[in-house]
Chains A and B, each alone.
Chain A
Amino acid sequence: MVTAQSEVASQYNVIGTRPIRHDGVDKVTGAAQYGADLQLPGMLYGRVLRSPHAHARIVSIDTSKAAALEGVKSVITNADFPRASDDVIDTGEGSAQLNWLLDNVIASDKALYKGHAIAAVAAVDHHIAEDAIELIEVEYELLPPVLDVRDAMLDTAPKLHDGLKTGEMDGSKSDGDSNTASHLRFAKGDMEAGFADADVVIEREFVTSMAHQGYIEPHNGTAYWRADGTLDVWTSTQGSFVVRDSVAPLVQLSPSQVKVTPMEIGGGFGGKIPVYLEPLAAILSRNTGRPVQLTMNREEVLLATGPTSGTYMRVKMGAKRDGTLTAGEVYLAFEAGAYPGSPVGAGAMCALAPYDIPNQVIDGYDVVVNKPKTAAYRAPGAPQAEFATEAVINELAEQLQIDPLELRLQNAAVEGASRADGFTYGVIGNVECMQAAQDSSHWNSELAGPNQGRGVAQGFWFNIGFESSAYAQVNGDGTVPLVLGSTDIGGTRASIAMQLAETLGISAEEVRPHVVDTNSVGYTQVTGGSRTTFAGGWAAYECAMDIRRQMAERAAQIWEVDAAEVEYGDDAVIRGPADDEGNERSFGFKELAGQLAASGGHIVGRADVNKTSSGPAFATHIVDVEVDPDTGKVDVLRYTAVQDAGTAIHPAYVEGQMQGGAAQGIGMALNEEYYYDESGDLKNASLLDYRMPTALDLPMIEPIIVEVPNPGHPYGVRGVGEVPIIPPAPAIQAAIADAVGLRMNELPISPRAILEATLPEEG
């Protein structure tokens, strides 16, 4: 663990230190306000009726009995919404087609998964709302469900959507209806020659289950449709502007008529980007003239909010005897859930990204099935795709009898290498992560017992940038309130405030960051894509530079000298030319702050940035496991996560992201799965049965931060939040193979799966 100041951080005063987060006291004292804490005068409470069927035509909905129940103020169905267009909106870490988005919020003609919203009620209390949804009568015509991506791709499969064709990148469409919504292909080189050059070729199939983000706070949404026709929304979201831009067209308002206030968020991991309850609350409020609040329970979260895709994948790779990778062929079929939009594109971009392989073909298929619509989940698509490719890399290393880290180093992508999708790398820390793993005490230690094994894997995520905004004012006492639009999931108030503080030359504690509503800050993209410390920090840097310029100008005004003669130093001292008597003139930051009001007024800095050079992230993970041959249980004995952070702004929060991502990846590897019966009924819709790892299941995850500063950022930042979820599954798969000789190519590698693979069939 990095505890001393790193070489990169040694050039800074604030960056690289570990101040207490600004929101910490509110969080630990319970003062922080989450969505369900909100209480408004006259507020009504909503509940949602959900489909008990995975695939059914909605013949009729009779809401009359529910509407007649005393205390019920409104009952709505899809028919209460304006028709949505097929326009596509940008959701930051993805996109959404409005008519499908609305249909997922509340079903129109068909229920497409168990838990699909059918109707919603607003009543004076929760109990009456609960009773009312029991009174809604829905007649369904049951249809056969399609639950597996391979089944769904068959021509003979029942179709979820009339008129859905397979779209190609060139704009062409399939002739007939299909559950495959789109196909993409990345390619470079000559595959035939690549495999001809290989001495060893390995081809394997992989299957992964849908897995949920597992945030602890359920979804919630409160809306108040005011008499003047404007709409206020309070919600737990990763992107207040995305909620605004999603809700407005669904309820036929202009975005300027909608104000979204992001409440504190109890976890998101990508799953709190789409809207589910907010449009329902809006229409219920419009109908009643009162604020309406809806919250989900845990079962609803698991049934009806976005997991990540289940997949079927094939990987074929070739290598020369000396370890040179010659060709990689990847086939990815991703479940999108009930509506198109799986993360297969991102998975395809990442699949072979850590390696410089001259010949590659990567095909991706986005396929609808009768399961909940997938949402972004931490490096969406990459954990699945890189599970498959990394597993084959490890198997190649074994067959070639080359150390798996050496094989990776031999083929590692470096600056100037190009991916099959056409992107060329700038400065990256791929090799540095591998080398740090090689040098780690973990890699150089010995395993201690029988049935133990060690695995290693690499991960890549491209990270994103895009729009962020920051405003800051200088108080008379030298403190600086900082206004942000980024929901703080993982300590970004602190990491952004620290970059403002570094630039101004003041302490992190003297900056007071606040996350505000969409009317109170400039457009800010979602907290997702590992973009917030990168782009938000850049906005804070520009904002601070604006303040520095204004402070220097004010000092010049006070001294009656030319502003060009005044300099704002990195030590937060504003220096001017000597006075007529030769005395040096300077102001400390606080000193000048105290004179602002009387010398022309207060100073406000502002910045809006729209950045595209985000700085890709790489990670190398090492894991030791022990497999119990009697029960099939896998214990994680030791875990080391190495990652290039660019510059670690707040190392403790970087370590937290690395540890959290690894924990989620371990869950995906060993336990987490959506378990459906043949009718499409999710059988484990509770956190008792949907088994996420707890602190008792995991060893200390040892983080090693590598810092290869990103030249595309003022402080060298790369996003850190997503890449650590990628290597755990293939590293664990390799460790199990090392321990007991089983290469498990299906996730999760549960005790049941191991026993099925080891016990004779009759057992």
Chain B
Amino acid sequence: MVRVLIPVTLRTLSGGEAEIEAVGHNLRSVIADLGERYPELAGRLVQDGRIGRGLTLAINGDVVSTGLITKVPADAEIAIVPQISGG
């Protein structure tokens, strides 16, 4: 089971849940599974077929750089953070 950690500013979309369990072999399928229970959250995480604007996902502490096709290990922890600006 994959654990998706929901940052405090996205908990309005997760019914207040701080952590959601989901299944899937890659980010797309994990978010699709999560979207069956939390459609608004999934709609924020995936926009126009990509990771949602202004967001970055990290799997087990590694920032995702290959988009929604990135493989997710079975017991992974997924963090959602703002896309870091600075330039």
Binding site for B on A (CB under 8 A): 88, 91-96, 167-172, 182-187, 270, 273-274, 306, 340-346, 349, 366, 374-376, 380-381, 421-426, 464-467, 610, 612-614
CA distance A344 to B53 in the complex (A): 17
CB-CB under 8 A from B9, the residues of chain A are 168-170, 183-185
Say yes or no: B86 contacts A169, CB within 8 Å.
no
Known: A170-B13, A421-B81. A345 touches B86 (CB 8 A): yes
Interface centre among A91, A170, A345, A346 (most CB of B within 10 A): A170
CB-CB under 8 A from A466, the residues of chain B are 65
Q: Mark B1-39, 1 if CB is under 8 A from A, else 0.
A: 000010111101100000000000000000000000000
* 18 pairs, A vs B, C-beta closer than 8 Å: A88-B83, A91-B87, A92-B87, A94-B85, A169-B55, A182-B54, A187-B7, A187-B8, A345-B84, A346-B86, A366-B85, A375-B86, A381-B86, A422-B58, A422-B80, A610-B65, A612-B64, A612-B65
Say yes or no: A423 contacts B79, CB within 8 Å.
yes
Say yes or no: B61 contacts A376, CB within 8 Å.
no
CA distance A449 to B68 in the complex (A): 61
Q: Which residue of A lies closest to B13 (CB)?
A: A170
Interface centre among B7, B66, B82 (most CB of A within 10 A): B82
Q: Which residue of B lies closest to A309 (CB)?
A: B86
Say yes or no: B79 contacts A169, CB within 8 Å.
no
Please pick, from B7, B10, B58, B84, the residue contacting A346 in the complex, using a CB distance under 8 A: B84
Please pick, from A92, A274, A341, A422, the residue contacting B81 in the complex, using a CB distance under 8 A: A422
Task: Identify which of residues 42-68 in chain B touch chain A, using a CB-to-CB cut-off of 8 Å.
Answer: 44, 52-55, 58, 60-66
Interface centre among A88, A92, A346, A423 (most CB of B within 10 A): A423
CB-CB under 8 A from A467, the residues of chain B are 65
CA distance A343 to B53 in the complex (A): 17
CB-CB under 8 A from A168, the residues of chain B are 9
CA distance A349 to B61 in the complex (A): 13
CA distance A169 to B84 in the complex (A): 12
CA distance A612 to B52 in the complex (A): 19
Please pick, from B44, B66, B86, the residue contacting A171 in the complex, using a CB distance under 8 A: B44
CB distance from A28 to the nearest CB of B (A): 32
Say yes or no: B12 contacts A424, CB within 8 Å.
no
CB distance from B52 to the nearest CB of A (A): 7
CA distance A169 to B79 in the complex (A): 14
CA distance A588 to B84 in the complex (A): 48
Say yes or no: B87 contacts A95, CB within 8 Å.
yes
Say yes or no: B7 contacts A422, CB within 8 Å.
yes
Say yes or no: A340 contacts B8, CB within 8 Å.
no
CB distance from A167 to the nearest CB of B (A): 7
Known: A169-B7, A422-B58. A343 touches B64 (CB 8 A): no
Please pick, from A91, A170, A306, the residue contacting B44 in the complex, using a CB distance under 8 A: A170
**Interface size of B by Cβ–Cβ distance < 8 Å?**
30
Known: A169-B7, A612-B62. A422 touches B87 (CB 8 A): no
Say yes or no: B8 contacts A613, CB within 8 Å.
no
Say yes or no: A345 contacts B82, CB within 8 Å.
yes
CB distance from A337 to the nearest CB of B (A): 11
Known: A168-B9, A169-B7, A170-B9. A424 touches B61 (CB 8 A): yes
CB-CB under 8 A from B64, the residues of chain A are 612
Interface centre among B44, B63, B83 (most CB of A within 10 A): B63
CA distance A145 to B3 in the complex (A): 47
CB-CB under 8 A from A375, the residues of chain B are 86-87
Say yes or no: A613 contacts B62, CB within 8 Å.
yes
CB distance from A349 to the nearest CB of B (A): 7
Say yes or no: A95 contacts B79, CB within 8 Å.
no
Please pick, from B8, B53, B61, B63, the residue contacting A425 in the complex, using a CB distance under 8 A: B61
Please pick, from B10, B54, B60, the residue contacting A167 in the complex, using a CB distance under 8 A: B54
CB-CB under 8 A from B65, the residues of chain A are 465-467, 610, 612
CB-CB under 8 A from A95, the residues of chain B are 83-85, 87
CA distance A376 to B77 in the complex (A): 29
CA distance A273 to B61 in the complex (A): 26
CA distance A375 to B13 in the complex (A): 32
Say yes or no: A610 contacts B85, CB within 8 Å.
no
CB-CB under 8 A from A614, the residues of chain B are 63
CA distance A462 to B4 in the complex (A): 21
Say yes or no: A171 contacts B5, CB within 8 Å.
no
Other A-B contacts than A184-B9, A184-B82, A424-B61, 18 sampled, CB-CB below 8 A, are A94-B86, A95-B84, A169-B7, A170-B9, A170-B12, A183-B9, A270-B86, A274-B87, A343-B84, A343-B86, A349-B84, A376-B87, A422-B7, A423-B61, A423-B81, A424-B60, A424-B77, A610-B65
CB-CB under 8 A from B82, the residues of chain A are 169, 182, 184, 345
CA distance A374 to B86 in the complex (A): 7
Known: A170-B12, A170-B13. A380 touches B86 (CB 8 A): yes
CA distance A422 to B8 in the complex (A): 11
Q: Which residue of B lies closest to A343 (CB)?
A: B86
Say yes or no: A342 contacts B55, CB within 8 Å.
no
CB distance from B5 to the nearest CB of A (A): 5
CB-CB under 8 A from A426, the residues of chain B are 61
Say yes or no: A94 contacts B84, CB within 8 Å.
yes
Q: Which residue of B lies closest to A96 (CB)?
A: B87
Interface centre among A169, A273, A424 (most CB of B within 10 A): A169
CA distance A656 to B64 in the complex (A): 31
Say yes or no: A341 contacts B85, CB within 8 Å.
yes
CB-CB under 8 A from B84, the residues of chain A are 94-95, 343, 345-346, 349
Say yes or no: B85 contacts A345, CB within 8 Å.
yes
Say yes or no: B7 contacts A93, CB within 8 Å.
no
CA distance A378 to B5 in the complex (A): 29
CB-CB under 8 A from B62, the residues of chain A are 612-613
Say yes or no: B85 contacts A169, CB within 8 Å.
no
CA distance A340 to B5 in the complex (A): 27
Say yes or no: A185 contacts B61, CB within 8 Å.
no
CA distance A349 to B62 in the complex (A): 14
Q: Which residue of B lies closest to A90 (CB)?
A: B83
Please pick, from B13, B53, B54, B87, the residue contacting A93 in the complex, using a CB distance under 8 A: B87
Say yes or no: A341 contacts B87, CB within 8 Å.
yes
CB-CB under 8 A from A306, the residues of chain B are 87
CB-CB under 8 A from A186, the residues of chain B are 7-8, 81
Say yes or no: A185 contacts B87, CB within 8 Å.
no
CA distance A95 to B85 in the complex (A): 5
CA distance A270 to B86 in the complex (A): 9
CA distance A426 to B58 in the complex (A): 14
CB-CB under 8 A from A380, the residues of chain B are 86-87
Q: Which residue of A lies closest to B4 (CB)?
A: A422
CA distance A92 to B80 in the complex (A): 19
